[in-house]
Chains A and B, each alone.
With several copies, the nearest count.
Chain A
Amino acid sequence: MSSLEVTPAEPLSVDAGRALVNDFSLQVATVNGSGSQTANTVLMRAIFQMGIPVSGKNMFPSNIAGLPTWFTIRASKHGYVGRRKEIDFLVAMNAETAREDVMKLEAGAAVVYDEPLKLGELRTDLHFYPVPFDKLVAPVCPDAKLRKLVRNMIYDGVVAQLLGIEMEEVHRALVKQFGKRKAKAAELNWGAAQAGFDYATSAFTKNDRCRVERMNLTAGKIIVDGNAACALGAMFAGVTVVAWYPITPSSTLVETLIGYMRRFRVDPETGKATYAIVQAEDELASIGMALGAGWAGARSMTATSGPGLSLMAEFIGLGYYADVPTVIYDVQRVGPSTGLPTRTQQGDLLSTAFLSHGDTKHPIFFPCSMEECFSMSIQAFDFAERFQTPVFVFTDLDLGMNNWMADAFVYPEKPMNRGKVLTAEDLDRLGGFARYGDVDGDGVGYRTLPGTNHPKAVYFTRGSGHNANAQYTEREDDYIGNMDRLAHKFETMRGEVPEPARELRAGARIGIVAIGSSDYAARESCDQLEAEHGVPVDYLRPRAFPFTTHLAEFIRGHDRVYVVDQNRDGQLLQLMRLELEPDSIARLRSVRYYGGMPIDARTITDEIVKQEAK
């Protein structure tokens, strides 16, 4: 890590001419709770509205106010929206971290900073733009109490001027952000932005390399976070019972869902809700309610993060063993234990795949994008009812809480698949049913829903030994029969989980495998490897566990396959080891990053280059 010492730096000798047009990272360093969120979002949206692909990542501490926070906007004409480690343009608003932030920059970067911080003295190889925020804010915001907030909008104006962001777009973004009801606030902020713009115009000569130029790559696109995308997916999946317990970074998934459900899922005629959302007393209760509801025929769900999953272990085993559907979102954060609650990781794979004592295995979906957060949510609810089992949807803090550009979501074409449910009419016809009988050979029995108006509809669900007729048993053959059915069901799932995504290049001898939020970095790394090293690389992204046969095929088709893991123990690779032939295992190489930031392409590229060199 960087040192805080002022080290003698090379004088500014970079080629200021090699402009970074629509291809840079801008970071705003502030303090959380200081209200910079709005200013940052407006900045990002303004660039987005100019047709330039962007992403916004918020790195915030596990506390509520007063500690350092960094918001990073990446603009990329290539559409790379994953993290980029290097910062080209810094807005240094936080006195506490300003020196370290500046010292970390690579030569040639630009720094907008609050004048009193005197950062310009620190290095000679950067472009500095000091701004007297306090002086500027006073005239545009007469109410001293509001100044702390409005102050932030000034840097929007400054940055807009320096980067060439059109002020009309800043205005549009601002109006959108504040909404109609807060028109006065919008106006106040607009004044501040203009003040910043004007100041920059008069005070600075642009000499850094970052610029934006209008493009046409964002038309029709949306900006959203993964938690909202999952919430929308769940709503359009027709979820009816949601039980949850707050935990970062999953809380906003349900909170956003609550907002949407209140708007769109209250029956306009009767005024009655078509859903129930319950903040439970803990995760043991939330998963219990979700399972109770799933058992009773509801599309049910819960959302949590690592510690919550650990608490759910016992109940999940019941869900597995008694064939009860529900959907569990895990918005992963850095573990173990409380870990780093506001940092991202893919660390719950191995413990979740086999969550709960005894022989258990669970399907996990791995959406990688906003579009998939939406569409795979819908698939997950179908899948849970199709297979009558708890289904996990794994995202992480990076996907869940950061701002991502996406195509508008596609309305589900297929009707809901409610799985094998027998109605009273079916029972009349059949005269009865064996709850855990494998009539169709797919390991999935037919169920009835409590409330079905038929005496034959009833069966007894239990987590203790049961036979095909759902009767209590301790018999060896019954037990084995049922466990074999469950194992077989898992194999059936293998054929019905979403297929992996693939990107193949001519002549590739090596491959990359990654899941979920690693996708952005992995794909960018493929480009880097080809562009910078002339190495074509194939890419496969499993979208679910159990893995489909494509994975093994892919590996067999390559000399070496680099498995990207955002965790210490290479958990994706470990899971693959459990399923692959030894010959394929021998081809696997591990690329791991587990520092809590979203993984970036350079880390993958460097690691692969290093290992390839061996």
Chain B
Amino acid sequence: MSTPAAPPPPRKTNRIGLDVLSYKGSKTTLCAGCGHNSISERVIECFYELGVEPWHVAKFSGIGCSSKSPAYFLGMAHAFNGVHGRMPALATGALLANSTLLGLGVAGDGDAASIGLGQFMHMVRRNVPLICIIEDNGVYGLTKGQFSATADLGSTQKGGAVNDLPPFDCCALALEWGATFVARSFSGDKKQLQAILKTAISHRGLSVIDVVSPCVTFNDHVGSTKSYAYMKEHDLALNELDYVPAYEDIAVEIAEGEAMDVPLHDGSHLRIRKLGHDFDPTSRLAALAAIEEAETKAEVLTGVLYVNTGKPTFLDLLNLPPEPIATLPESRVRPSRAVLEEVMEELR
């Protein structure tokens, strides 16, 4: 197949000659101020800046305000908006069929931690090579504000009801059970979220990014722990992140111990500088302990929690060829007459 000429660059364009418009989606129908919208903007920026061909991206999502958002970014990407909580299965199937796709999944906290918790965990276990963004607002936005399973203990609903069940922490689940890049961020932290998203784009394996993303309509009040105000108070960045794309030089050499350079699959680098915490993002147990500690202090730890660039992905385990199996020619997927005859002989 030939690459058709990209549309003439009208204004500023990226490495592959596309302008930022080519990375936008249709107009958002989410509430003004919804955290999910900020995340969409970061996705647009990151894919634009890295110069990814959007039509090699496949977006997947469940059902919810969050799961609608793939319609609002990367309009030139393929997309499958499925059923509530089942994004992982759809994405896994599609990536098996075509391992050359750059998979980007979006889930709400309802999707990931309630109805789809099982699928989420099994995707984690498989280390499916996918960027999985959890747009985490602690409530069911689209069904009007019920608590989700990530709502913090003691946080209150708009109507005043108090959540008396402890939350699932998707980051803890992800890093403990097999995801290879795990980060938390806040929809309002532009720089951090960008670095994380870009790293995820370069990472080979499952990236789970839990983004606290306030629901301005149902969960942004006093008493909420996923509000803008709360996050401004309690957001504790674990590390300072710099993503250095493959096509740029890593300019400054760093002194031992000060920061850590993680070389990524595509030649890019993630530079992680510690902030306060003495924390090693290659240790699952350290990350779990840090999360637990932060929780007891009512802090929301953001940044890169865990990264492991060495583990085989699910596609590796399945011994798939580099090209998509979906479109292998008939000659490679329909065995010969001789094979049929061989089998028949065995059955005679």
Contacts and interface: CB of A to CB of B under 8 A. Distances in A.
A300 interface: yes
B294 interface: no
Given A276-B96, A453-B55, A245 B330 contact: no
A138 interface: no
Interface in B307-335: 318-321, 324-328, 330, 332-335
A295 interface: yes
Contacts of B255: none
Interface stretch (A9-17, A50-58, A260-268, A594-602): A260-268
Contact of A291 (B30, B93, B117, B319): B93
Interface in B81-100: 81-86, 88-98, 100
B319 A273 contact: yes
Nearest to A239: B333
Among A246, A266, A464, A472, find the residue whose CB has the most chain B CB atoms closer than 10 A. A246
A472 B63 CA distance: 14
B55 A460 contact: no
A453 B3 contact: yes
B252 to A, nearest CB: 37
B343 interface: yes
A417 B1 CA distance: 20
B326 A296 contact: yes
A478 B114 CA distance: 33
Given A273-B321, A280-B89, A452 B333 contact: no
Nearest to A275: B325
Contact of B30 (A64, A245, A264, A461): A64
A292 B90 contact: yes
A224 B343 CA distance: 11
Contacts of A275: 325, 333
B149 interface: yes
B217 interface: yes
B326 A424 contact: no
A450 B101 contact: yes
Interface string A480-508: 00000000000000000000000000000
Contacts of A237: 334
A371 to B, nearest CB: 12
B217 A64 contact: yes
B234 interface: no
A188 interface: no
A462 B81 CA distance: 5
Given A222-B348, A284-B119, A461-B79, A295 B55 contact: no
Contacts of A424: 1-2, 4
A441 interface: no
A61 B65 CA distance: 13
Interface string B136-161: 00001111101101000000000000
Given A33-B217, A66-B32, A289-B90, A295 B80 contact: yes
Contacts of A299: 326, 333
A175 to B, nearest CB: 13
Contacts of B1: 423-425, 452-454
Nearest to B7: A455
Interface residues of B, number: 83
B149 A281 contact: yes
B11 interface: no
Interface stretch (A74-82, A126-134, A196-204, A404-412): A404-412
B29 interface: yes
A315 B82 CA distance: 8
A246 B55 contact: no
A266 B320 CA distance: 10
A235 B2 CA distance: 31
B167 interface: no
Contacts of B91: 292
B6 interface: yes
Interface stretch (B70-78, B190-198, B279-287): B70-78
Contacts of B60: 292
A104 B32 CA distance: 30
Interface string A252-296: 000000001000111100111111101111111111111111111
Nearest to A472: B71
A542 B75 CA distance: 45
A238 B333 contact: yes
Contacts of B146: 246, 251, 279
Interface residues of A, number: 98
Contact of A246 (B22, B32, B100, B140): B140
B98 A292 contact: no
B89 A289 contact: yes
A281 B122 contact: yes
A205 interface: no
A240 B97 contact: yes
A241 interface: yes
B340 interface: yes
Contacts of A575: none
A247 interface: yes
A6 interface: no
A222 B344 contact: yes
Given A416-B330, A451-B98, A236 B89 contact: no
Nearest to B31: A65
A239 B334 CA distance: 8
Given A264-B335, A428-B4, A458-B55, A337 B83 contact: yes
A455 B93 contact: no
A459 B55 CA distance: 10
B277 interface: no
A449 interface: yes
Interface centre among A65, A67, A295, A299 (most CB of B within 10 A): A295
A232 B342 CA distance: 12
A338 B83 contact: yes
A243 interface: yes
B54 interface: yes
B288 interface: no
Contacts of B337: 411
Given A237-B334, A274-B325, A425-B2, A279 B29 contact: no
Contact of B93 (A238, A239, A293, A409): A293
Contacts of B3: 453-454
B92 A292 contact: yes
Contacts of B117: 281
B94 A295 contact: yes
A74 to B, nearest CB: 19
10 contacts: A272-B319, A275-B333, A292-B91, A296-B97, A318-B83, A338-B83, A451-B58, A455-B4, A456-B4, A462-B80
Give 8 closest A-B pairs by Cβ, nearest first. Answer: A288-B89, A292-B93, A289-B93, A298-B97, A238-B333, A282-B115, A296-B97, A450-B78
Interface of B: 1-4, 6-7, 22, 26, 29-32, 54-56, 58, 60, 63, 65, 68, 70-71, 75-86, 88-98, 100-101, 114-115, 117-119, 122, 140-144, 146-147, 149, 217, 318-321, 324-328, 330, 332-335, 337, 339-340, 343-344, 347-348
Interface of A: 33, 61-67, 220-224, 228, 232, 235-241, 243, 245-248, 251, 260, 264-267, 270-276, 278-300, 307, 314-315, 318, 337-338, 408-409, 411-412, 415-416, 423-425, 427-428, 449-464, 471-472
Given A240-B333, A267-B332, A282-B114, 6 more contacts: A64-B144, A240-B328, A245-B115, A288-B93, A451-B324, A458-B78
